[in-house]
């Protein structure tokens, strides 16, 4: 007997990820996104195999009667918008605080799945780009609801590894993606702020709308460690012994400066920025962000 590609536990986790995403977006879809692409004419481009979740009104019924196979008619402009979720899975994203809490990457993947479902329900096309020091995978945008399954599978398979370069990833996207669309950056942004902000401005300069979601563990903000500790750089492996109480105030001031730098820099470049900490349910933070975005549109 052949071994299944996915163990039952993995299938259960995948189903749970999709259920979490659906729970977030149900109930507040209407009006949250006003696409600039409504009203485009559509022209037939090609056929492709039917995927569960595709809109059946695009089935080629004549072809079905002739061949017995299900094919979808694809058009040049099937969607309102092409969106790219740019997800950081560098080593630092594996941090989950003390006691094995939710890692930043686990939190980010749930957030990415929820956003994917939100956009697919609006008939927008969603792609996923993962990165660390450079781009590690690219899943081109598609608009069928059945696309959520492959996206979720890929999200489940991401592991924290390597160093990060937010700027390189953003510059790469700005160069690769020619058609104006939406880019959603999900990262802890623990990188050079000046270079990262310059790359964010480059993405805006070529015409894309950019959303920036910074994901941090609460301890990365508060540095509330009660005793002496050795800290390990999750990207380089370097160890640093220290007494947290002695450096806590300086650390907090520096972290506050970095966060405010991203917030003000994004605001100046007309980029939507939101800080998420992993002790807050991601659906709460996402709802607040979307509600605020709706008010401002």
CATH number at residue 269: 3.40.50.410
> Do 20 and 63 share a structural domain?
no
Cβ atoms of 193 and 168 within 8 Å: the answer is no
Mean pLDDT of 284-297: 71
> Do 133 and 71 share a structural domain?
no
Write down the pLDDT at residue 94: 92
Instruction: Count other Cβ atoms within 10 Å, centred on residue 109.
Output: 25
Tokens coding 212 = 């920036």
Lowest mean pLDDT among 196-210, 228-242, 282-296: 228-242
Cβ atoms of 214 and 275 within 8 Å: the answer is yes
φ and ψ at residue 119, rounded to 5 degrees: -70, -40
* pLDDT confidence tier of residue 47, bands split at 50, 70 and 90: low
Instruction: Count other Cβ atoms within 10 Å, centred on residue 7.
Output: 10
Write down the pLDDT at residue 29: 45
For residue 136, what is the enclosing H or E element?
strand 135-142
Mean pLDDT of 184-212: 95
Domain count, the chain: 2
Residue 3 lies in a domain: no
Determine the Cα–Cα distance for residues 234 and 94; give it in Å rounded to an integer.
8
Mean pLDDT of 83-99: 89
| Residue 287: DSSP 8-state | H
Quote the radius of gyration of the chain (alpha carbons, Å): 21
> Do 144 and 61 share a structural domain?
no
Lowest mean pLDDT among 46-50, 87-91, 264-268: 46-50
Residue 208 lies in a domain: yes
> Do 175 and 286 share a structural domain?
yes
Alpha carbon distances (Å) from 181 to 215, 247, 263, 297: 23, 43, 22, 17
* pLDDT confidence tier of residue 280, bands split at 50, 70 and 90: confident
Cβ atoms of 110 and 20 within 8 Å: the answer is yes
pLDDT tens readout for residues 124-142: 899 999 999 999 999 999 9
Write down the pLDDT at residue 15: 65
Residue 113 lies in a domain: yes
Write down the pLDDT at residue 295: 63
* pLDDT confidence tier of residue 180, bands split at 50, 70 and 90: confident
Domain with 50, as residue range(s), is 44-75
Q: What percent of the chain has pLDDT over 90?
A: 41
> Do 148 and 70 share a structural domain?
no
Mean pLDDT of 223-247: 67
> Do 157 and 19 share a structural domain?
yes
- The residues near 74 (Cβ < 8 Å, ≥ 6 apart) are 44, 45, 46, 47, 48, 58
> Do 239 and 205 share a structural domain?
yes
Determine the Cα–Cα distance for residues 87 and 85; give it in Å rounded to an integer.
6
> Do 112 and 101 share a structural domain?
yes
């Amino acid at each position: 007997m052949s071994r299944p590609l996915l163990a039952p536990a993995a299938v259960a986790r995948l189903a749970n990820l999709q259920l979490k995403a659906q729970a977030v977006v149900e109930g507040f879809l209407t009006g949250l996104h006003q696409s600039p692409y409504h009203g485009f004419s559509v022209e037939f481009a090609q056929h492709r195999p039917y995927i569960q979740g595709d809109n059946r009104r695009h089935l080629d019924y004549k072809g079905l009667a002739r061949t017995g196979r299900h094919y979808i008619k694809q058009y040049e402009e099937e969607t309102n918008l092409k969106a790219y979720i740019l997800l950081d899975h560098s080593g630092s994203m594996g941090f989950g605080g003390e006691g094995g809490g939710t890692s930043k990457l686990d939190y980010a993947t749930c957030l990415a799945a929820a956003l994917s479902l939100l956009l697919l329900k609006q008939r927008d096309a969603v792609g996923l780009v993962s990165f660390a020091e450079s781009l590690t995978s690219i899943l081109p945008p598609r608009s069928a609801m059945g696309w959520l399954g492959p996206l979720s599978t890929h999200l489940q398979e991401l592991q924290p590894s390597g160093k990060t370069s937010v700027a390189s990833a953003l510059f790469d996207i700005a160069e690769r993606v020619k058609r104006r669309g939406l880019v959603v950056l999900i990262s802890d942004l623990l990188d050079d702020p000046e270079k990262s902000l310059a790359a964010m401005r480059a993405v805006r300069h070529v015409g894309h709308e950019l959303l920036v979601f910074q994901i941090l563990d609460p301890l990365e903000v508060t540095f509330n460690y009660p005793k002496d500790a050795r800290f390990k750089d999750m990207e380089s492996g370097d160890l640093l012994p220290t007494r947290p109480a002695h450096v806590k105030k300086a650390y907090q001031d520096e972290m506050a400066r970095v966060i405010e730098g991203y917030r003000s820099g994004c605001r100046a470049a007309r980029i939507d920025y939101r800080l998420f900490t992993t002790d807050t349910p991601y659906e709460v933070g996402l709802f607040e962000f979307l509600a605020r975005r709706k008010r401002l549109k």
